[in-house]
């Protein structure tokens, strides 16, 4: 019973590991963090594209403003917007490739081609790099053709060429930065997960250490109680008998007899104090969850059914703990001998006014089995006598509707506290 409740180290460890996994999932790489990262990367790309678009407009200033130039500007903005909004990579790449192909055949599209090249460079993959290179070579030939044909000014073509290279390098740099950020996020998430796992492990080890210390303390208290009872108690009992014998021997001497009677009374009082101390140490040395856990472990080692134990009780008085231990031992013995059960559930709980023990199984029960009939045998009778001796109630019988057997025992706290 650690942490104020009767929870075994294994059960507490499983609960904490589950909580640590849930906490790690919520704080490391959760949906909100992922959305924030996507928002930041998109804002970085929009900032880059704003710079590229401003430079494209500057490169197109020397051209005559007509319908084709306005259409080129609008389609360029639409293509780069689709590259951001499209869900699939193929759709976004198709828009960028289409714009470059249009720039090869329609010269007014050339000044705004760096926008499309930015998206192509960002999304290009190793298996499709030859397609991107082919588009790039075609665009270079288009620039040379436009320069020789005099369709566009030398200034516009030169600025477009420089801007295309700059946009490609800027796109590659931004893509590399995004990959590094993703890698750093994955590393951070792994480190957070390991830190949480280590923290949970440390808590588990600390709790196990406290549990072992508590067991050692209880064992030491029990040893001291035995030593006091066997040595000091024996000597005081001997001294009391000797004082009584001397009082009888000196009965004809009233003064001496009274003195020996006083000595005997003092020794008896000391003996009562020692007995009270021994009882107090024994009460403190009785750990309800430890007793029930040992009984369950013994039943498991015998190759019996699967047993689930849950103890939700504070330190119970010694008489209550011993009573519940005897009831559980007898109930498990009956289950293993007569029930052919697969699963046994043991629950011990502390309520505001009483302690409660419930043992259920999924085996056979009732009068047909011949082993656990409604008529009480010596085992059920013994369990009932133990519980009722503490003022409690005891019932045992088949579980209605679901099958199996149920043992139910309660002991009021008023009776249990008298044994402290």
Q: What is the pLDDT of residue 86?
A: 66
**What's the rounded Cα separation, in Å, for the pair 264 and 297?**
48
Q: With CA atoms as reference, report the closest residue to 324 among 245, 263, 383, 401.
A: 383
pLDDT at 367: 40
CA distances (Å), origin 276, targets 220, 270, 358: 18, 10, 32
What pLDDT does 328 receive? Answer: 92
Return left, alpha or beta for 400; rule: phi > 0 is left, psi -120 to 50 is alpha, else beta. beta
pTM (two decimals): 0.40
SS3 401: coil
Residue 392 has a pLDDT of 93
| 8 A C-beta contact, residue 409 and residue 329 | no
Average pLDDT, consecutive stretches of 10 residues, N- to C-terminus, the chain (420 residues): 43 50 48 58 78 81 76 81 68 72 77 80 61 63 61 74 82 83 89 91 84 75 75 80 83 80 81 71 66 83 80 79 89 84 90 92 59 57 90 90 88 60
CB under 8 Å to 152, separation ≥6 — which residues? 63, 107, 110, 111, 146
Task: Return the sign of the alpha-carbon dihedral for residues 279, 285, 288, 294.
Answer: negative
Q: What is the pLDDT of residues 25-38, one digit of tens each?
A: 444 445 555 565 56
What is the reported pLDDT for 3?
38
pLDDT in tens, 117-155: 887 777 765 545 555 566 666 666 666 666 555 666 677
pLDDT at residue number 357: 94
Cα distances from 385 to residues 142, 144, 216, in angstroms, run: 104, 107, 33
Backbone torsions φ then ψ of 391, nearest 5 degrees: 80, 15
């Amino acid at each position: 019973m650690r942490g104020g409740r009767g929870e075994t180290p294994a059960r507490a460890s499983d609960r904490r590991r589950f909580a640590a996994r849930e906490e790690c999932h919520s704080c490391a790489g959760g949906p909100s963090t992922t959305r924030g990262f996507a928002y930041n990367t998109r804002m970085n790309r929009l900032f880059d594209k704003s710079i590229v678009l401003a430079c494209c407009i500057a490169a197109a200033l020397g051209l005559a403003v007509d319908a084709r130039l306005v259409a080129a500007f609008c389609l360029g903005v639409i293509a780069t917007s689709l590259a951001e909004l499209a869900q699939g990579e193929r759709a976004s790449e198709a828009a960028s490739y289409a714009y470059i192909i249009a720039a090869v055949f329609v010269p007014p599209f050339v000044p705004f081609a760096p926008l499309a090249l930015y998206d192509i460079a960002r999304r290009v993959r190793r298996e499709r790099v030859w397609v991107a290179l082919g588009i790039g070579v075609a665009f270079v030939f288009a620039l040379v053709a436009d320069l020789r044909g005099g369709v566009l000014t030398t200034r516009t073509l030169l600025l477009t060429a420089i801007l295309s290279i700059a946009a490609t390098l800027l796109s590659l740099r931004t893509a590399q930065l995004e990959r590094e950020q993703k890698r750093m996020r994955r590393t951070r998430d792994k480190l957070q997960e390991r830190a949480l796992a280590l923290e949970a492990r440390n808590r588990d080890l600390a709790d196990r250490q406290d549990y072992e210390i508590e067991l050692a303390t209880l064992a030491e208290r029990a040893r001291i109680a035995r030593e006091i009872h066997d040595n000091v108690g024996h000597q005081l009992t001997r001294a009391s008998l000797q004082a009584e014998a001397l009082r009888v021997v000196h009965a004809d001497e009233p003064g001496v007899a009274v003195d020996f009677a006083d000595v005997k009374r003092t020794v008896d009082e000391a003996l009562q104090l020692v007995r009270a101390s021994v009882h107090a140490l024994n009460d403190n040395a009785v750990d309800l969850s430890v007793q029930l856990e040992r009984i369950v472990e013994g039943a498991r080692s015998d190759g019996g059914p699967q047993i689930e134990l849950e103890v939700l009780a504070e330190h119970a008085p010694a008489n209550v703990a011993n009573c519940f231990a005897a009831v559980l031992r007898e109930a498990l013995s009956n289950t293993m001998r007569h029930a052919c059960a697969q699963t046994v559930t043991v629950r011990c709980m502390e309520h505001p006014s009483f302690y409660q023990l419930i043992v259920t199984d999924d085996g056979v029960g009732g009068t047909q089995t011949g082993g656990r009939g409604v008529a009480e045998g010596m085992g059920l009778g013994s369990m009932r006598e133990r519980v009722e001796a503490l003022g409690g109630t005891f019932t045992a019988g088949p579980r209605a509707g679901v099958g199996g057997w149920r043992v139910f025992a309660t002991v009021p706290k008023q009776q249990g506290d008298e044994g402290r």
